[in-house]
Amino acid sequence: MQSLAVNLHTHSYSIHTGRGLSGQVRSEANQLQTKGHKVAVVTDANIVRTQNSWLLDAFGNIPTLILPPGETTKSFAHLQSCCEFFAEHKLDRNSAVFAFGGGVIGDLTGFAAAVFLRGISFYQIPTTLLAMVDSSVGGKTGINIPAGKNLVGAFQQPKAVFADVNLLNSLPEREFSAGMAEVIKHGMLADSALFEILASADRLHPDHPDMAGIIRRNCSIKASIVQADERETAKDGGRALLNLGHTFGHAIEAVAGYGTLLHGEAVAIGLLLATKLSVALQLVDHSNIARVEHVLSRYNLPIRLPSPLSLEELMLSMTRDKKVRSGTLRFVGLRALGEACTIDSVNPNLVRDLWLESGAVSPH
């Protein structure tokens, strides 16, 4: 196990990566209980089916809430289920909750921990590649509403993150590819050498000997950005850069219906659209489009909408994005592969043209 520190002004924690970490998690839970702190676990039915032995090794008979899998679980209804479960088991402000699952479970559990008793501790135990390299790090938690993705939430930093690479062995290939979209994103926005590895070296897979190192590298990129701008308040750049491809991707998820496309699949389409936007604004050379298409296709990620979506609904969804400031939508683009930037005041007609090129349909 190797550890990476995330040092914030008000709270610091460690991201632990390696293989076979159930014992370390069990030790953490035991220490909490020895001190008289109540502990609970939130997971989903898929994890119980595929990782039950890990669950038992790490948590034994600790009270466990099992939720339905999928993006639609990030809802007010399941937020209420979490809070009622915490109350049922008499969790107090000294208690801690372990989120054992992918990004959905981590986001939901973290938000529940933020609001229950106005804040209790929680730990991230990510089980998907996407969660290991992205959503478990940085403290953004929340749920979706029909108007948009992650529009309701809170900043709630975890006490620690334990990323056991062995948990990826049960991950469906499609889910692994979806996680690679976030790995590709980090290369595009901050690490050109990582991007080149993804484009030309051996294709990564759960048993790849470099997998743990790649996860740590991604966590390091995200941690350094979060440390400099924890609550995404920088006027330019800052934590907003981590949203590369997400302004487009979140609109796709909202209009297609949550769960129709995996988050990483929607982000992959968004990454290519962000590249095309950067080319159209003459920030990068046209050749970068083919380079991004190549690496996305290499990991079986979509580069256009798999089925037509309404242009007007996509445009409307984008206006509800969290990155809207004073009525103006901010995009994240590229100055180069490996260097991202925030972009303000983009002509809506240019955005509409990019959507149409990617398979959106207009009634006109």
- Give the per-residue pLDDT at 323: 65
Catalytic residue among 250, 276, 322, 330: 250
Same domain, 299 and 328: yes
Tokens 């999928």 found at: 70
Q: Which residues pair with 130 in a beta bridge?
A: none
Same domain, 200 and 344: yes
Same domain, 188 and 219: yes
Q: Is 362 part of any domain?
A: no
Same domain, 68 and 209: no
CATH code at position 129: 3.40.50.1970
- Give the per-residue pLDDT at 153: 97
Q: Is 297 part of any domain?
A: yes
3-state secondary structure of 120: coil
Catalytic residue among 28, 175, 232, 253: 232
- Is residue 118 part of the annotated active site? The answer reads yes
pLDDT tens digit at each of 364 positions of the chain: 899 999 988 789 999 999 999 999 999 999 999 999 999 999 999 999 999 999 999 999 999 999 999 999 999 999 999 999 999 999 999 999 999 999 999 999 999 999 999 999 999 999 999 999 999 999 999 999 988 889 999 999 999 999 999 999 999 999 999 999 999 999 999 999 999 999 999 999 999 999 999 999 999 999 999 999 998 888 888 999 999 999 999 999 999 998 899 999 999 999 999 999 999 999 999 999 999 999 999 999 999 999 999 999 999 999 887 666 666 788 999 999 999 999 988 999 999 999 999 999 987 6
Q: Are 123 and 98 in contact (CB under 8 A)?
A: yes
Q: Is 105 part of any domain?
A: yes
- The beta-strand segments (E) located in 193-239 are none
Catalytic residue among 71, 182, 230, 265: 182
- Is residue 246 part of the annotated active site? The answer reads yes
Which of 137, 170, 203 is where one domain is finished?
Answer: 170
The closest of 236, 213, 193, 198 to 340, measured between CA atoms, is: 236
For residue 169 the two structure tokens come to 């062995």
3-state secondary structure of 264: helix
Per the structure, the complete domain to which residue 133 belongs is given by: 2-170
Phi, psi of 161 (to 5 degrees): -125, 130
Which of 170, 204, 236 is where one domain is finished?
Answer: 170
Round to whole Å and give the CA distance between 176 and 265.
11
Same domain, 202 and 283: yes
Q: Is 364 part of any domain?
A: no
Catalytic residue among 16, 38, 78, 140: 140
Which of 128, 148, 170 is where one domain is finished?
Answer: 170
- Is residue 349 part of the annotated active site? The answer reads no
3-state secondary structure of 98: strand
Same domain, 158 and 246: no
- Is residue 222 part of the annotated active site? The answer reads yes
CATH code at position 303: 1.20.1090.10
Q: Are 188 and 340 in contact (CB under 8 A)?
A: yes
Q: Is 53 part of any domain?
A: yes
Catalytic residue among 46, 150, 243, 288: 243
Same domain, 204 and 327: yes
Q: Is 156 part of any domain?
A: yes
Round to whole Å and give the CA distance between 340 and 95.
40
Provide the domain count of the chain: 2
- Is residue 78 part of the annotated active site? The answer reads no
Same domain, 190 and 163: no
Same domain, 48 and 80: yes
Same domain, 268 and 287: yes
Q: 142: left (phi > 0), else alpha (psi -120 to 50), else beta?
A: left
CA 160 to each of CA 12, 181, 184: distance values in angstroms, whole numbers, following the listed order: 9, 24, 24
Same domain, 39 and 124: yes
Catalytic residue among 78, 216, 217, 246: 246
Same domain, 164 and 182: no
Number of H helices, E strands in the chain: 14, 13
pTM of the model: 0.93
- Is residue 320 part of the annotated active site? The answer reads no
Q: Is 363 part of any domain?
A: no
Catalytic residue among 149, 186, 263, 330: 263
Hey, what long-range contacts does 294-297 have (CB within 8 A, 24 or more apart)? Answer: 294/199, 295/184, 295/195, 295/198, 295/199, 296/181, 296/184, 296/268, 296/271, 296/272
